Amino acid sequence: MFHHVRSRIFAAHAISILLWASAFAGIRVGLQAYSPEHLSLLRFLIGSLFLGILALFFRIRLPELKDVPAILMLGGLGFAVYHTALNYGEMTVSAGVASLLVTTTPIFSALLALLFFREHFGVRGWFGALISFLGVAICTIGTGETLQITDGIFLILLAAISESIYFAFQKPFVEKYGVFAFTAYTLWAGTLCMLFFLPGLGTAIAQAPWDVTLSVVYLGIFPSVVAYLSLAYVTSVVGASEATTSLYMTPVLAFLIAWVWLGEGPTLVTMAGGVVTLVGVLLATMKPRLSSGTVKHQTF
């Protein structure tokens, strides 16, 4: 049973990392025809519609009235603030440096989980996180990019903090409502917060090339819905600290996907940084064998 659950956790990790890594290239394509705010709104309108269709096949428990403010707050932070701030931040910060800054999310998540939920990451976990962060830094150096203080840096750090709050505080709600219901309610809440970006969206859609809009559709379904569902499942089983540490792999795969999709090839230094990142992730996330009584079971 232990190996079965760990296999599901690994698969969910892999799905989240791969889809979020592909989002970097997808965003680059989307920004060719859409403004940052229109890209965010259209992406999550599509995601909300997709979740609404899926909801027809799931029995979703309605949230209790006392939980609605928290769900609205988490949805606003994890979706509206994170994605809008990230889009605006990347207007002045390169993709490589942005990916490095976003990898502070697991560190913020682990700190919040420690302070509020007493989730102990352990010495090996923190050491692995530091190695992973070093690996991502090497990847960024390998692109020939430098870190300069701009407003975009603070916007991306704001995005990372917002996302870490979403990850750190989602666990009790995921356990209460289930992975699918929690993800649906928070994504819908985040989309609601972005509706003030609606003016001009119809014109932007009409003027955008079809392949750019198709990229936004991809972003709305896969990185915006499937990836969040996958990581919410992992968080419900192992907690925010371990669940988010593997996200250090996202920038490494983002470079590779950009190579295939956009023709932006990684350097040898970038690939070396990827190896360092992988070592750190394995060190931080590999756990000793648990007894069957300690394994949690979570369903959608």
**What does the pLDDT profile of the chain (300 residues) look like in tens digits?**
556 677 888 888 889 989 988 888 888 899 899 999 999 999 999 999 999 999 988 878 889 999 999 999 999 999 999 999 988 887 777 666 677 678 777 777 777 877 887 777 678 778 877 887 787 777 666 655 555 556 777 888 899 899 989 988 988 898 899 888 998 999 999 999 999 999 999 999 999 999 999 999 999 999 999 998 888 888 778 776 667 766 777 877 877 887 788 776 667 776 787 678 768 767 765 655 444 443 344 444
Look at residue 296 in the predicted model and tell me its pLDDT: 42
* Burial (CB count within 10 angstroms: exposed 0-12, middle 13-18, buried 19+), residue 64: exposed
- Sign for the CA dihedral angle at 59, 177, 45, 32 comes to negative
Q: Which two tokens stand for residue 274?
A: 């990827």
